[in-house]
Structure 1
Amino acid sequence: MEQPQQIPLFFIIGRPRTGTTLLQSLFDAHPNIMIPWECQFVLNLFPAYGKITRWTEKDLDRFYSDLLKQWQFSSWNINQVRLKANLMNCQGSHSYRDICQVVYLNYISLFPKERISIIGDKNHGYTIYTERLLRIYPEAKFIYILRDYRDNFHSVNRVDFEVPVVSLVIYKWKYFYQKALTAAKKHPDSFYFLRYEDLVSEPEKYFRKIADFLDIPYLPEVFNFYKVKSRAEETYPAEVLEKHHKSLFNPINTSRLGLWKKSMSETQVRIADQVAGRYAEMAGYERKYQGFSLWIAILALPGVFYAKIIYLMTSLFDRFPYRLREKILSKGPLLLARLFSGLFRRKS
Structure 2
Amino acid sequence: MIGDPVIRLFAQPRVGPSRGAPGARRRVHTAFSARSQTGLIGARQRGTVSDSVRPVFVLGCPRSGTTLLQLMLHAHPRIGLPPETRFVLPAYERRLGFGDLRERGNRAGLAQWITGRKETRFHELGVDAGHVAERITEGPPTLGSALAIALQAYAEEHGKIRWGDKRPAYALHVAEILRLFPDAQFIHLVRDGRDCVSSLLGMPWWHRGFHEAVATWSQVMDTTRGYARRLGSGSWHELRFEDLVADPEGQLRGVCGFLGEEYVPEMSEPYRVAGLAVPARKTWHRRTHGALDTSRAGNWATRLTPAQIALCDDVWGDRLTLARLRTGRRRPAGPRRTAALPARGGPATGRPRQTAHARLLGAST
Same-fold status (TM-score > 0.5): yes
Pairing 1:37–2:89 present: no
Measure how far apart 1:228 and its partner are: 4.0
Three-state SS of the structure 2 residue aligned to 1:39 is coil
Pairing 1:113–2:159 present: yes
TM-score (norm 1): 0.76
Q: Hey, what does 1:343 align to over in structure 2? A: none
What is the aligned counterpart of 2:133 among 84, 92, 95? 84
Q: Hey, what does 2:298 align to over in structure 1? A: 258
> Structure 1 residues 310, 333: CA separation in 2 closer, same or farther (over 3 Å shift)?
farther
What is the aligned counterpart of 1:273 among 308, 313, 321? 313
Pairing 1:54–2:102 present: yes
Measure how far apart 1:267 and its partner are: 0.7
Q: Deviations over 1:160-185 (max 9, x none)?
A: 22236332212110111100011121
Does 70-79 or 261-270 show the bigger shift?
70-79
Measure how far apart 1:288 and its partner are: 2.0
Unmatched runs of 5 consecutive residues or more in structure 2: 1-41
Q: Hey, what does 1:123 align to over in structure 2? A: 167
Does 282-291 or 166-175 show the bigger shift?
282-291
Three-state SS of the structure 1 residue aligned to 2:294 is coil
Does 20-29 or 165-174 show the bigger shift?
165-174
Three-state SS of the structure 1 residue aligned to 2:56 is strand
In 2, the alpha carbon distance for the partners of 1:298 and 1:54 equals 45
Q: Hey, what does 1:204 align to over in structure 2? A: 249
- Amino acid across the alignment from 1:198: D
- Amino acid across the alignment from 1:145: L
Residue correspondences, number: 306
Q: Hey, what does 1:100 align to over in structure 2? A: 147
Pairing 1:65–2:112 present: yes
In 2, the alpha carbon distance for the partners of 1:136 and 1:276 equals 32
Measure how far apart 1:301 and its partner are: 1.0
Equivalence map 1:211-290=2 (5 Å): 211-228=256-273, 232=276, 238=280, 240-242=281-283, 245-289=285-329, 290=331
> Structure 1 residues 120, 292: CA separation in 2 closer, same or farther (over 3 Å shift)?
closer
What is the aligned counterpart of 2:222 among 172, 178, 184? 178
Three-state SS of the structure 2 residue aligned to 1:302 is coil
Q: Hey, what does 2:22 align to over in structure 1? A: none
The share of aligned pairs that are identical, in percent, is: 23
> Structure 1 residues 94, 333: CA separation in 2 closer, same or farther (over 3 Å shift)?
closer
Does 61-70 or 259-268 show the bigger shift?
61-70
Q: Hey, what does 1:321 align to over in structure 2? A: none
Q: Deviations over 1:39-84 (max 9, x none)?
A: 242232132378845240x212211232233444343323223222
Three-state SS of the structure 2 residue aligned to 1:158 is coil
In 2, the alpha carbon distance for the partners of 1:147 and 1:135 equals 27
Report if the CA contact (8 A) 2:99-2:106 is conserved: no
- Amino acid across the alignment from 1:100: L
In 1, the alpha carbon distance for the partners of 2:164 and 2:352 equals 31
- Amino acid across the alignment from 2:126: N
Q: Hey, what does 2:343 align to over in structure 1? A: 302
In 2, the alpha carbon distance for the partners of 1:211 and 1:309 equals 43
- Amino acid across the alignment from 2:150: V
Measure how far apart 1:253 and its partner are: 2.3
In 2, the alpha carbon distance for the partners of 1:275 and 1:191 equals 26
More helix by share: 1
Report if the CA contact (8 A) 2:313-2:327 is conserved: yes
> Structure 1 residues 108, 131: CA separation in 2 closer, same or farther (over 3 Å shift)?
closer
Three-state SS of the structure 2 residue aligned to 1:286 is coil
> Structure 1 residues 275, 42: CA separation in 2 closer, same or farther (over 3 Å shift)?
same
Unmatched runs of 5 consecutive residues or more in structure 1: 316-328, 335-348
